[in-house]
Amino acid sequence: MLPAFYTDDGSGLPVLFVHAFPLNSSMWRAQRRDLNSFFRILTFDLPGFGRGGAFPERFTLDDAADMAAELLDACDIDRAVVSGCSMGGYIAMAMLRRHPRRLAGLVLANTRASADSPEAQENRRRQAEAIRNGKLQEYLDEMLSKLLGDSTVAAAPDVVRLVEDIMQRATPEGTAGMLEAMAERPDSLHDLADARVPVCIVTGAEDTLILPAEAEAMHAELLDSELNVIPNCGHLSCLERPVRFNAVLRTFIQTRILK
């Protein structure tokens, strides 16, 4: 299943960006703008978000990983660096598990390798039920307060408005369905420990949704990884501090993959 909407810009080593929840591929606009003179940049919308089309019944993170691999096929790309933020990181790790030969490297931003606890799973399911009962906007309002760091909220109201606008393209079906899909994801720490590609781990110093300690735990388990803590940002480091994030990604690719 190909994505209903994707972008393909630039030339060079392909880098596939997988968006966070409950956003869409427009969150990567700074990466498309600033990195396409160095790399071939691909983004896509997951079903139920942005221009991703209808959300299929029982869509899983493995299905999302397969969708990303099919996009690489459609674009005649053998291997790519896969960069995922938050939920996108879960999907990137699913690609590592299901399509390891398609990865030239991994960038895992503001994400975790561990599965949800039973309590966290039940909370996601309750949220999904509430969304299906007409509470999507209440859920998005609550998420907005958690996605961005205090520094961003205080100093960059334009970023706050941008994130709010992007989230308005999330559908109830997609938001509820991906909550349930994330609740069912497996632990990926073993897959990461066995990774045979370089891994760049990025976290925001002010991330309260997925604490920097989760990034440190992943880094400690990996044979070939680097850890980058970006100051003055929360859960959306690529969007809150794009210049710093892009410099980290560019340096990682040029020194660890294209060396």
Where along the chain do its domains lie?
A: 6-257
209-248 per-position pLDDT tens digit:
999 999 999 999 998 999 999 999 999 999 999 999 999 9
Q: What is the mean pLDDT of residues 177-198?
A: 95
Q: Which two tokens stand for residue 221?
A: 């388990």
Euclidean distance between CA atoms 249 and 232, whole angstroms: 18
pLDDT at 189: 93
The count of residues in the chain is: 259
Give me the pLDDT at residue 60, please. Answer: 98
Q: What is the mean pLDDT of residues 35-52?
A: 98
Is residue 59 over pLDDT 90?
Answer: yes
Residue 20 pLDDT > 90: yes
* Position 126 pLDDT exceeds 90: yes
6-257: CATH class: alpha beta
Mean pLDDT of the chain: 97
Q: What is the mean pLDDT of residues 75-95?
A: 98
Q: Would you call 114 exposed, middle or buried from its count of C-beta atoms within 10 A (0-12, 13-18, 19+)?
A: middle
Instruction: State what percent of residues in the chain have pLDDT above 90.
Output: 98
pLDDT at residue 223, rounded to an integer: 85
Which pLDDT score, from 0 to 100, does residue 140 have?
A: 98
Sheet holding 199-204, edge to edge: 6-9, 40-44, 14-18, 80-85, 103-109, 199-204, 225-230
